[in-house]
Amino acid sequence: MSRIDCDVAVIGSGAGGGTVVAALAELARAGKRVILFEKGTKLDRSRFNGREVDMAELLFEAGGSFPVVDHSVTLAFSEGVGGSTQVYTGTSLLPPKRVIERWNLPGVDHADLCERAEAFRVQNNAHLLPGPDINDNNRLFQKGCEALGWHAEQFPVNVKGCKGSSLCNLGCPNDAKMGTQQVQIPAARAAGVELVTRAKVRTVRAGDAGGILDVEVSAAPHPHGKIAQSEWEPGRYEVHAHTVVVAGGAVHSPALLLRSGFGLDLPVLGRYWTCQPAHILVGEHDKPLTNAIGHPKSFLYDQRVAEDRYFVEACMYFPFVTAKNLTGFGPEHHRLLKAYERLQMILVLACDDALPDQRVTIDAAGEPVVHYKLMPPTITALCKATRAAAQIFFAAGALAVHAPSARPTLLTRADKDHIDARISERHFLPGSVSVSAAHLMGGCRMGTTTATSVTTPHGQVHGQPWLYVADASLFPTAIEVNPYLTVMALADHVAQAVLARESH
Ligand SMILES: Cc1cc2nc3c(=O)[nH]c(=O)nc-3n(C[C@H](O)[C@H](O)[C@H](O)COP(=O)(O)OP(=O)(O)OC[C@H]3O[C@@H](n4cnc5c(N)ncnc54)[C@H](O)[C@@H]3O)c2cc1C
Ligand code: SF4
């Protein structure tokens, strides 16, 4: 095993890890060695062909359908330089005050997080799209909300030179979506931060002067053919670092720390894992809509989130995912898919509670296993969200609405005044409704004691002064909004603690 020495090792290059290396660029400029390890590869836009199944396999772990143990929910997250920011839509929302105040963590202040998040909004060119760039799907969402007297909020999206190809979740073929692979990591590399791809960190452990990483650089041919090799020769490396920052995301960070043996001293490690379970609804209109043209998402309705624990967003999904989301089969399913170009789409999302038994564990090979169940309050929130979405569809002029928790699943305008009765928890059978989650959180939650948390409010793993976490796994509870800006703000907050340690 070859030995490598460095000052700081960062594991994972997504929203969290990409932010950390950008903040640590000043160390690299000052001559310190900072290395960013990413188990995936670096993909350029020439790989992004917009074909749904190809891109799901290339960009997402488990093809975007990583199952939880009871198969009631599938999880979407990405690997490769940029992590899930390669496939995110770019919805750029600030952390809500009520959630940060509820966390009640000394040193984690809402105003401070917002200031950091605002700086990333500027860095990522997040802005409100002008009227002509808003497509029919978003216009109908806004129209439906307005007709109901509800406030549809337009949010900023982080694009530069967007050509409106609507492929954001399949990797932007135009380099227009601002993820960490586009903005923060190139800046860090220009300052001297080293990037090592196809480098999976198997374990981390304490050494005499910091941490020791067991890194495996893959020699295997990439399953998707000709793809850039790692910057290092394939093989095993023992990397000695004064400080280690874990940013593998909410599934892999707890798994890495568990297989490294930290679970013995940290009873909460992997626990309080949470996500914002979501599913797609469609409304059928009488004429074609410009859904597959234009940026897919600009509006949300979140007025009920504090009380009813849901929010809904305009969205656009590709035919395969849409087909998977439509409950039923046979002629009705076929007819609805044939109407694809006339479908308005809305994503409904629920905010669930972080519970100790919702958790990441590891299997015999040390790989993550996610134990997550849809709890009754979450199903209630999804049903309330579905009722709200159905109202928006009909108010926007839809002829029919497909809702998996409705009976019948296809509601017509005649059902419009009976939505509350038609859509019910009774019809929501976990496993038979296609639910997925892309907002994954917790498992290495911040806090003040080892009985309730894994890290301090500054992301330092309890009892391990050399080891930090800086990603979505830090969240003590669901953030109740699209999370990437909060992940970046928190990662930047953790990076300041790392800078302070490195300057001593
Ligand atoms: C389809 C999709 C759409 C989304 N849209 C939005 C949106 O519009 N707005 C928003 O706010 N949020 C969105 N999100 C969520 C957002 O992308 C995530 O919250 C955010 O990227 C999480 O950051 P992270 O650093 O925790 O993990 P990630 O960004 O997932 O990065 C983790 C990285 O660590 C690497 N890694 C893991 N383990 C190891 C290891 N052992 N060794 C080396 N490398 C490792 C992984 O390969 C990965 O690249 C979306 C997510 C998805 C999947
Ligand atoms: S809509 Fe814009 S940001 Fe999204 S994939 Fe197309 S060009 Fe890229």
Ligand nearest to the CA of 84: 1
State whether 148 and 16 are in the same domain.
no
Burial of 130 (0-12, 13-18, 19+ CB in 10 A): exposed
- Count the helices and strands in the chain (H runs, E runs): 14, 23
Q: Whose CA is nearest to atom 13 of ligand 1?
A: 88
Atom 8 of ligand 2, residue of closest alpha carbon: 172
Give how far the C-alpha of residue 109 lies from the chain's centroid of Cα atoms, to the nearest Å: 22
Q: Which of 13, 41, 65, 84 to mutate to test the pocket of ligand 1 (most atoms within 8 A of CB)?
A: 84
Residue 367 lies inside a defined structural domain of this protein: no
Give the residue numbers spanning the domain of 325: 129-156+278-351+375-429
Amino acid, res. 399: L
Q: What is the 3-state secondary structure (H, E, C) of 29-94?
A: HCCCCEEEECCCCCCCHHHCCCCHHHHHHHHEHHHHCEECCCCCCEECCECCCCHHHHCCCCECCC
| Long-range contacts, stretch 183-187, CB < 8 angstroms, 24+ apart | 183/18, 183/22, 183/123, 183/124, 184/18, 184/19, 184/21, 184/22, 184/123, 185/13, 185/18, 185/21, 185/22, 185/36, 185/81, 185/82, 187/22, 187/25
Q: Within a domain: residue 7?
A: yes
104/149 same-domain check = no
Q: pLDDT at position 293, please?
A: 86
Give the type of residue at 96: P
426 class by beta-carbon count within 10 Å (0-12 exposed, 13-18 middle, 19+ buried): exposed
Residue with the nearest Cα to atom 46 of ligand 1? 79
Report how far apart, in Å, the C-alpha atoms of 20 and of each of 100, 335, 404 are: 21, 49, 41
309 & 421 share domain? yes
Angle at 290 between CA 287 and CA 294, to 5 degrees: 170
| Residues sharing a CB contact under 8 Å with residue 500, sequence separation 6 or more, in sequence order | none
CA of 145 to the centre of ligand 2 (A): 25
Question: Is 51 inside a domain boundary?
Answer: yes
Instruction: Tell me, in angstroms, the distance from the centre of ligand 1 to residue 144's CA.
Output: 32
Give the closest residue (by CA) to ligand 2 atom 4.
Answer: 168
Q: Given this model, what pLDDT does residue 222 score? A: 67
* 434 φ/ψ angles, rounded to the nearest 5 degrees: -80, 105
Angle at 325 between CA 324 and CA 326, to 5 degrees: 95
- Token output for 214: 């067991």
C-alpha 405 to ligand 1 mean position (Å)? 29
Three-state DSSP state, 102: helix
What pLDDT does residue 101 have?
Answer: 98
* Alpha carbon of 15 to ligand 1 centroid (Å): 6
Residue list, ligand 1 pocket, CB within 6 Å: 11-17, 37-40, 76-80, 83-85, 87-91, 169, 200-201, 247-250, 252, 256, 438-439, 471-472, 482-484, 487
| 182-205 burial code (b ≥16 CB/10 A, e <16) | bbbbeebbebebbbbbbbbbeebe
If asked whether residues 190 and 310 sit together in one domain, one would say no
Q: Which of 336, 348, 378, 335 is nearest to 281 (CA)?
A: 348
Ligand nearest the Cα atom of residue 298: 1
**183 shares a domain with 72:** yes
Ligand nearest to the CA of 168: 2
Whether residue 166 contacts residue 293, with contact meaning beta carbons closer than 8 Å, is answered with: yes
Which residue type occupies 378? T
CATH number for the domain including 312? 3.30.410
What are the pocket residues of ligand 2 if the criterion is a CB atom closer than 6 Å to any ligand atom?
159, 162-168, 172, 174, 176-177, 295
Quick one: tokens of 388? 């709200």
Cα atoms in the 13 Å half-sphere on the side-chain side of 483: 31
In a domain, 370, yes or no: no
**Which CATH number does the domain housing residue 222 bear?**
3.50.50.60
**Same domain, yes or no: 179 and 98:** yes
Ligand 1 atom with least separation from CA of 473: 26
- Same domain membership, residue 307 and residue 199: no
Give 392's contacts (C-beta < 8 A, 6+ positions apart). 141, 144, 145, 148, 150, 301, 312, 346
User: Is 369 among the domain residues?
Assistant: no
Half-sphere exposure of 95 (CA within 13 A, CB side): 30
Determine contact, residues 321/280, Cβ cutoff 8 Å.
yes
Tokens (6 digits) for 142: 């806004």
Ligand 1 center from residue 346 Cα (angstroms): 22
Q: Which ligand is nearest to the CA of 138?
A: 2
Let me know whether 108 and 187 are in one domain: yes
Assess whether 90 and 196 both reside in one domain. Answer: yes
Say yes or no: 312 and 400 in one domain: yes
Q: How many residues does the chain have?
A: 504
- pLDDT the model gives residue 226: 65
The reply to whether 249 and 121 lie within a common domain is yes
- The Å distance, Cα 444 to ligand 2 centre, comes to 33
Asked, for residue 288, whether it belongs to a domain, the answer is yes
**Full pLDDT tens readout for the chain, 504 residues:** 899 999 999 999 999 999 999 999 999 999 999 999 999 999 989 889 999 999 999 999 999 999 999 999 999 999 999 999 999 999 999 999 999 999 999 999 999 999 999 999 999 999 999 999 999 999 999 999 999 999 999 999 999 999 999 999 999 999 999 999 999 999 999 999 999 999 999 999 999 999 999 999 998 776 666 677 899 999 999 999 999 999 999 999 999 999 999 999 999 999 999 999 999 999 999 999 987 789 999 999 999 999 999 999 999 889 988 998 888 888 888 999 999 999 999 999 999 999 999 999 999 999 999 999 999 999 999 999 999 999 999 999 999 999 989 998 999 999 999 999 999 999 998 888 899 999 999 999 999 999 999 999 999 999 999 999 999 999 999 999 999 999 999 999 999 999 999 998
Residue 362 belongs to a domain = no
User: What is the maximum alpha-carbon separation in the chain?
Assistant: 72
- Threshold 0.85, pTM exceeds: yes
What's the gap in Å between 333 CA and the centre of ligand 1?
32
| Of residues 55, 483, 120, the one with CA closest to residue 278 | 483
Tally of structural domains, the chain = 2
Asked, for residue 358, whether it belongs to a domain, the answer is: no
Q: Which residues of 152-173 are buried (b: 16+ CB within 10 A; e: fewer)?
A: bbebbbbbeebebbbbbbbbbb
My answer on whether 121 and 133 are in the same domain is no
Nearest CA to ligand 1 atom 31: 14
Ligand 1 pocket mutation pick from 37, 61, 88 by most atoms within 8 angstroms of CB: 88
